[in-house]
Structure 1
Amino acid sequence: MTHQALAQAARLAPVVERVHGKNHPEMTRVRQLTEQLMATVDPTRTAALFAELRAVTDNYEVPGDVCEAFEATYQSLAAADAQQAA
């Protein structure tokens, strides 16, 4: 599940960044962190990346002015984060 949720977030993040980046500049860092997570196998590094994602996204709090893809990105990241922490 973690990889599938992360893969979905990795697919969506660049699109969401392009659409919402002007009003939500944090999406650039979200995209970068998601890409790093896809390339990381070290559990310590993975935990650190998710910790930064939680900080950048205010614990995956979806802003009120965004599309479903933005929401799906945050939901996928939150799901992957929960799975890796379990």
Structure 2
Amino acid sequence: MANRNIEKAAQLAPIVERVHGGHHPELTRVREITQALHQADNATNTPALFQELRAVTDNYAIPNDVCEAFEATYHALERADKQQQAAA
């Protein structure tokens, strides 16, 4: 399941967590889920991971107080989620 969107999000998630984690504690779980998706070599658990990701991120809602990397992470995850749903 390692696609470009997941790869991008996996690179950005730890940085975004470090910068914004104090105000957005959900980013720890976003990073963990993103890493799990990046490491998943089959699609068996990815629907559940994306479902949790939608819940944790409030359907990828971008807060007002964040940087472009935060936005890019959520956009990449949302695109990957849509790809996964289309493939299912």
Please say whether Structure 1 and Structure 2 have the same fold, judged by a TM-score greater than 0.5.
Answer: yes
Alignment of 1:28-39 (within 5 A): 28-39=28-39
* Residue 19 (1) aligns with residue 51 (2): no
Give deviations 1:5-59, integer Å, cap 9, x for gaps: 0100000000000000000000000000000001113323000000000000000
| Structure 1 stretches of at least 4 aligned residues deviating more than 4 Å after TM superposition | none
Number of residue pairs the alignment of both structures matches: 85
Q: What is the RMSD computed on CA atoms of the aligned residues?
A: 1.0
Partner of 2:64: 64
Partner of 1:49: 49
More helix by share: 1
Please say which of residues 55-64 and 42-51 is displaced more in the overlay: 42-51
Separation in structure 1 between the aligned mates of residue 56 and residue 36 of structure 2, nearest angstrom:
15
Q: TM-score, normalised by structure 2?
A: 0.93
Separation in structure 1 between the aligned mates of residue 44 and residue 60 of structure 2, nearest angstrom:
21
Please say which of residues 68-77 and 40-49 is displaced more in the overlay: 40-49
